[in-house]
């Protein structure tokens, strides 16, 4: 928008250019839309009272906006399904007094050892006790142990050593830890926050 240079130019401009009301109406409509766009762009940067937000507040506002879009894009349904599958595959009976129940772990380890046709251990009792003790120290979830056992059955030709079982379990614990963390963090965003 340019201003006339002199009062004479103002008079000349007023005579020469009557206001086009259709253009004014279009401009009003367009600028109202631009105001909405601007508020949308600034949302999360300025508080309702006009103060600039801190970096943390801006980040939280941005996360809230993205979470809303994520929920609407099917994210909430995926979390609900994942939680249902978690509850199905990780029953409460797996734990007792905050720890893993040894009897359940023992059954899974027996299935692992029994799945090898060459499982003719000289001292099976000592091996299975030591294996159970080492696995119990890791406190695996049912999913972690099941995946480790499955991986060992698929990759080993002979009964795995205790260290091989623990190594496979640690790999699965790391993989599933990241998955559980994502599920926990995203579960917060399933219900819209006030």
Q: What is the mean pLDDT of residues 155-173?
A: 96
Q: What is the mean pLDDT of residues 13-32?
A: 53
Six-digit token pair at 54?
Answer: 């801190």
**pTM higher than 0.75:** no
Residue 19 has pLDDT above 70, yes or no: no
Q: What is the mean pLDDT of residues 134-160?
A: 94
Residue 43 has pLDDT above 90, yes or no: no
What mean pLDDT, rounded, does the chain reach? 77
Asked if residues 131 and 159 have their Cβ atoms less than 8 Å apart, the reply is no
Q: Say how far apart CA 113 and CA 119 lie, in whole Å.
A: 6
Residue 144: CB partners within 8 Å, gap ≥ 6?
169, 172, 173, 176
Asked if residues 39 and 17 have their Cβ atoms less than 8 Å apart, the reply is no
Confidence of residue 13 (pLDDT cuts 50, 70, 90): very low
pLDDT: is 150 or 36 the higher one? 150
Confidence of residue 25 (pLDDT cuts 50, 70, 90): low
Q: Say how far apart CA 72 and CA 39 lie, in whole Å.
A: 21
Q: Say how far apart CA 11 and CA 186 lie, in whole Å.
A: 64
Six-digit token pair at 115?
Answer: 């799945």
Q: Using alpha carbons only, what angle is made at residue 167 by residues 165 and 170, rounded to the nearest 5 degrees?
A: 110
pLDDT score at 9: 47
pLDDT score at 14: 40
pLDDT: is 38 or 184 the higher one? 184
Q: Say how far apart CA 1 and CA 17 lie, in whole Å.
A: 15
């Amino acid at each position: 928008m340019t201003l006339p240079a002199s009062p004479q130019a103002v008079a000349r401009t007023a005579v020469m250019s009557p206001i086009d009301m259709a253009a004014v109406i279009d401009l009003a409509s367009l600028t109202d839309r631009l105001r909405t766009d601007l508020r949308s762009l600034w949302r999360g940067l300025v508080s309702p009272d006009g103060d600039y937000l801190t970096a943390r507040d801006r980040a939280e506002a941005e996360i809230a906006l993205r979470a809303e879009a994520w929920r609407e894009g099917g994210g909430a349904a995926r979390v609900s399904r994942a939680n249902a599958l978690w509850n199905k595959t990780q029953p409460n009976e797996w734990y007792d007094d905050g720890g893993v129940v040894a009897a359940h772990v023992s059954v899974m380890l027996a299935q692992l050892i029994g799945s090898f046709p060459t499982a003719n251990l000289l001292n099976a009792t000592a091996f299975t006790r030591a294996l159970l003790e080492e696995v119990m120290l890791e406190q695996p979830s049912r999913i972690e142990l099941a995946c480790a056992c499955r991986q060992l059955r698929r990759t080993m030709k002979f009964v795995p050593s205790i260290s091989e079982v623990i190594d496979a379990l640690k790999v699965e614990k790391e993989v599933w830890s990241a998955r559980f963390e994502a599920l926990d963090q995203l579960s917060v965003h399933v219900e819209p926050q006030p």
